[in-house]
């Protein structure tokens, strides 16, 4: 019964959440999740609503209103801990680990990609002309080559990022 109800309501909930999300400043997925949670609470307490489609529409609008009210009441911190002038030891360790992982992934890339990306990541802040001269390629081919290399890097890092 519950799985049939979920399957029947999913398209409507997705559409309603997408429509209401923009005006409420929420992500459609967040609205959907909140409504699914409310539905589970409702099923546990009172059973299924008499008109589930109408209930979903009302629940989405209610969650959107709640999100708008909450966002109006929230005030940002004067300064976030991440805005501190001096990063803490844990932040330094995490930054160093990310840089190491990036450098290792760059070294595993095929062809000229490792040299190109190392030049782009260089602290010397090289211009495209200087990078093209170092690599012995035309400056015009540098952009497409960079795009191809970044695509390779993205594909290489995706499984590692997903695993964490």
Residue 9 within any structural domain of the chain: yes
Give the predicted TM-score (pTM) of the model. 0.46
Structural domain count, the chain: 2
Distance CA 102, CA 83 (A): 24
pLDDT tens digits for the chain (164 residues)? 578 888 999 999 999 999 988 887 788 899 999 999 999 999 899 988 999 999 999 999 999 999 888 888 877 766 666 556 777 888 889 999 988 988 898 999 999 899 999 888 888 888 889 999 888 888 888 889 999 999 999 888 877 665 55
Q: What is the CATH number of the domain that holds 154?
A: 1.10.10.10
Q: How distant, in Å, are the alpha carbons of 20, 81, 153 from that of 147?
A: 36, 34, 10
In a shared domain, residues 154 and 117: yes
In a shared domain, residues 39 and 63: yes
Res 114: pLDDT:
93
Distance CA 45, CA 136 (A): 71
In a shared domain, residues 99 and 154: yes
In a shared domain, residues 61 and 102: no
Q: Residue 115 belongs to what domain range?
A: 89-163
């Amino acid at each position: 019964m519950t799985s049939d109800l979920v399957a029947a309501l999913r398209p409507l909930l997705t559409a309603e959440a997408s429509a209401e999300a923009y005006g409420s400043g929420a992500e459609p997925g967040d609205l959907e999740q909140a409504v699914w949670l409310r539905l589970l609470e409702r099923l546990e307490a009172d059973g299924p609503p008499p008109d589930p489609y109408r209930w979903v529409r009302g629940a989405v609008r209610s969650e959107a209103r709640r999100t708008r009210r909450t966002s109006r009441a929230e005030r940002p911190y004067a300064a976030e801990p991440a805005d501190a002038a001096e990063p803490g030891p844990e932040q330094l360790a995490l930054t160093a680990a990310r840089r190491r992982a990036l450098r290792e992934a760059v070294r595993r890339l095929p062809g000229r990609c490792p040299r190109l990306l190392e030049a782009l990541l260089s602290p010397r802040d090289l211009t495209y002309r200087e990078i093209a001269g170092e690599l012995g390629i035309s400056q015009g081919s540098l952009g497409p080559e960079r795009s191809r290399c970044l695509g390779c890097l993205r594909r290489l890092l995706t499984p590692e990022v997903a695993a964490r």
